[in-house]
Amino acid sequence: MDKHIATARLEARLPADIHAMLKRAAEMQGRSLTDFVVSAARDAAQRTIEDAEILRLSIEDQRLVAEALLSPPKPNPALRQAFKKRKQLIG
């Protein structure tokens, strides 16, 4: 059974020195220029997405979050009012 992988074309114009550098790096890894560029672009895209989606906290911030979860503060009047309204709406 043939599996067809959808592909899309990407064209880019780049300075000759960068093209030569990419080609040299691809050759050093024994890969085609296309494979090298696609792999590098995929890795860069993945890092960019992770950097945007993953929340990283300092040790102190981690401690504060854990503390708040383990010993939450008592509800203030605004929160009590919000719960009251929610109960009236939802029952």
| pLDDT tens per residue, range 76-90 | 999 999 999 999 999
The pLDDT value recorded for residue 54 is 92
Task: Give the whole-angstrom CA distance, residue 61 versus residue 53.
Answer: 18
pTM of the model: 0.60
Dihedral in degrees, nearest 10, Cα atoms 69, 70, 71, 77: 30
Asked if residue 23 lies in contact with residue 33, where contact means CB atoms within 8 angstroms, the answer is yes
- Where in the sequence is the domain holding 50, given as residue range(s)? 16-90
Residue 34 domain flag: yes
Residue 5 domain flag: no
| pLDDT tens per residue, range 24-79 | 999 999 999 999 999 999 999 999 999 999 989 999 999 999 999 999 989 999 99
Please give the structure tokens belonging to residue 26: 């691809």
Sign of the four-CA dihedral 35, 48, 13, 24? negative
Structural domain count, the chain: 1
The pLDDT value recorded for residue 1 is 53
Residue 4 domain flag: no
The pLDDT value recorded for residue 25 is 97
